[in-house]
Amino acid sequence: MAYSDRIGASGGKIPDLRPGPSQVWQDYVRSPRAKTLRFGEHDVVFYEGDAADRVYELIEGAIMLYKLLPDGRRQVVEILGPQSLFGVVAGKIYDCNAETLTPAVVRSIDRRDAEGSADLQGHISRCLLSQIETLHEHTVLLGRKSAFERVASFLMRFVPNRGVADCLGPREGAKDDAVVLLTMTRQEIADYLGLTIETVSRVISDLKRRGVIAIEKQDRIRINNVCAICHLTGAH
Amino acid sequence: MAYSDRIGASGGKIPDLRPGPSQVWQDYVRSPRAKTLRFGEHDVVFYEGDAADRVYELIEGAIMLYKLLPDGRRQVVEILGPQSLFGVVAGKIYDCNAETLTPAVVRSIDRRDAEGSADLQGHISRCLLSQIETLHEHTVLLGRKSAFERVASFLMRFVPNRGVADCLGPREGAKDDAVVLLTMTRQEIADYLGLTIETVSRVISDLKRRGVIAIEKQDRIRINNVCAICHLTGAH
DNA sequence: CGAATAGTTGATGTATCTCAAGCAGGGTGG
DNA sequence: CCACCCTGCTTGAGATACATCAACTATTCG
């Protein structure tokens, strides 16, 4: 199964904002100037501080960007799905570490090529904008939401077309459930949500006890009632 | 005194990354197609959900972007100084509220004009990139730093050329102090740092008691030892 | 099958929040 | 010019959500 089937090819939370790849970008990224790279699970694409001379597009799989404090505290700052751009920075070095969550296919192009082409720039801009909106959302989560709301928001991220502004609610009469494949360890989830692994575990157990979710496998969660989880996010 | 003299015209924390305005942008933004707007303190430039048909450049003053949860919790997601762009979004509506912290001068241009010009796009891209790096930093602050570290990081933001990667330390033999003008209420600082007003107040009082800072006026703080504060940020 | 790794659960601690009262600076009107 | 008020800030006492520490259990993989 392709990652996009799970996370939602539309990009999760804000599907209509994630721009479809432009023709020019498509052409370039498939040209011989671009390099295809294949990674396993938990492989590093680049480190914070590396010279930022290439930019990347995730073709298949999932990638996380994270930063470390000197004492080892880690914060996952972004989780990326297919069609996401990463490694595009203002300075000369990457500001984050990039690591795969799943086996992944990545295309990379030379930074100067990306900067030289106006058409590529247009595509990049549109990607950056939806990225900023996601970061704003996540800032609210980290600054103002409780552990329950954080986990609920996290789960909703992976339910396509729900929890968004124009959410239609469950289809009439249909069972309002969904299956979410996390592809992340509890530690990675905790580091993304600004919590500890134990708190994430406790919240998930509690949601299970209350019957709103069922754990089909460690990283495969069935949401029995999407609306219920959505109301726990604090955003509705 | 111009705001830029206080916050640092270079843009605070990452001065060499904040791009200088390009000539094309300069020309456009000063052309008759752009509108100049003047705001007082705590005026709203636009609301979350408003139709996003114009983009803005802050010329003078300071602006905050914030989001609200339905129950009234507020998170300030960005603080902007001169030359910052805002109101550039992927979708049809603004994703944040924009409100002045000080009296401010703003130039606004039509969104379609910005999107139509490749040169303007280039400038916009560069601005968005440094904005993303600042958001990443702030994500680490909200997800992983203690109240002390958050306040210390906040203060360091306003000390030009210090606390950055290539920080040279204090000039040899010179007194290592600095004066910071906050131009924000305790409530706004709290909502930016993901804390309560009481916690911000307590931390500031404690820093004062320990002699690392002095409060010259409510929103005018002297840092007696920049290096000391810098080490309290958790990042060094 | 058994070791290694990841996740859960419990008991306890603590940083930060909440609630409540007191204080200070700036502006207004007498 | 000073008293008064208003708003924003500070301080204290107590509550709590989450972290920490530690033991236990479930998975995965050789």
Query: What pLDDT does B19 receive?
Result: 52
Q: Are B87 and B55 in contact (CB under 8 A)?
A: yes
Residues B95-105, mean pLDDT to the nearest whole number: 97
pLDDT at B28: 73
CATH number, span A147-231? 1.10.10.10
**Cβ neighbours for A226, distance < 8 A, ≥ 6 positions apart:** A156, A159, A162, A170, A176, A177, A178
- What is the predicted pLDDT for the residue at A33? 82
Distance CA A131, CA B131 (A): 11
- Contact residues for strand D with beta carbon within 7 Å: A 146-148, 194-196, 198-199, 217-218; B 185-187, 197-198, 200-202, 204-205, 215, 218-219
User: What are the backbone dihedrals phi and psi of residue A30, each rounded to the nearest 5 degrees, phi first?
Assistant: -95, 0
B156, B163 contact by CB (below 8 A): yes
CB contact under 8 A, A133 and B193: no
Pick the CATH number of B146-232 from 2.10.10.100, 1.10.3720.10, 1.10.10.10, 3.40.50.300: 1.10.10.10
Average model confidence (pLDDT) across chain B: 88
Q: Is the pLDDT of residue B18 over 70?
A: no
- Domain A3-144 top-level CATH class: mainly beta
The band of B8, judged by pLDDT with boundaries at 50, 70 and 90, is very low
3-state SS, residue A111: helix
Mean pLDDT by 10 residues, chain A (236 residues): 35 41 72 88 96 96 97 97 96 97 95 86 91 98 98 95 73 82 96 98 97 93 94 94
pLDDT of B14 reads 35
Looking at the complex, does the CB of residue A215 fall below 8 Å from at least one CB of chain B?
no
Confidence label for B3 from pLDDT (cuts 50, 70 and 90):
very low
Give the residue-averaged pLDDT of B87-107.
96
Residue range B137-193, pLDDT digits in tens:
999 999 999 999 999 999 999 998 777 776 777 777 677 889 999 999 999 999 999
Q: Which residue has the higher pLDDT, B130 or A163?
A: B130
Give the Å distances, CA to CA, from A142 to A78, A119, B21. 13, 35, 32
- Rounded to a whole number, what is the largest CA-CA distance in chain A? 55
Domain ranges of chain B: 3-143, 146-232
Distance separating alpha carbons of residues B44 and A67, to the nearest angstrom:
34
Residue B177 and residue B227 in contact, taking contact as beta carbons nearer than 8 Å: no
* Residue A116: predicted pLDDT: 83
Helix axes A118-144, A147-156, angle to 10 degrees: 150
A175 CB-near residues (< 8 Å, 6+ apart): none
Q: Please work out, in degrees rounded to the nearest 5, the angle formed at the alpha carbon of residue B49 by the alpha carbons of B129 and A236.
A: 100
Interatomic distance A123 CA / C2 C1' (Å): 53
Answer whether B142 sits within 8 Å of A194, measured CB to CB: yes
Angle (CA) B217-B220-B223 rounded to 5° is 115
Chain C bases having any atom below 7 Å from a protein CB: 6-11, 15-20, 25-26
Q: For residue B234, which phi and psi values (nearest 5 degrees)?
A: 85, -10
B53-85: pLDDT as tens digits: 999 999 999 999 999 999 999 999 999 999 999
Nearest nucleotide (CA of A197 to C1') = C7
Q: Assign residue A103 a region: left if phi > 0, alpha if psi is -120 to 50, beta otherwise?
A: beta
Q: Stretch B98-113: mean pLDDT, rounded? A: 95
CA of B122 to C1' of C5 (A): 48
Cα–Cα distance for residue pair B24/B32, rounded to 1 Å: 14
Interacting residues of B151 by C-beta distance below 8 A, sequence separation 6+: B189, B193, B200, B203, B204, B207
**3-state SS class at A26:** helix
CA distances from B77 to A133, A152, B36, B189 (A): 10, 21, 25, 11
Mutant choice from B16, B132, B188, B191 vs A, greatest count of A C-beta within 10 A: B132
Beta bridge partners of A210: none
By the 8 A CB rule, do A25 and A88 touch? Answer: no
**Which of B90, B144, B236 has the CB atom closest to A75's CB atom?**
B144
Listed range (A18-27, B60-69, B89-98, B225-234) with the worst mean pLDDT: A18-27
* pLDDT given for residue B119 in this prediction: 79
pLDDT score, position A153 = 98
Which CATH architecture does the domain made up of B3-143 adopt? Answer: Sandwich (2.60)
Mutate to test the interface with A, among B24, B69, B94, B140 (most CBs of A within 10 A): B140
Q: Could you give the CA distance from residue B131 to residue B78 in angstroms, rounded to a whole number?
A: 9
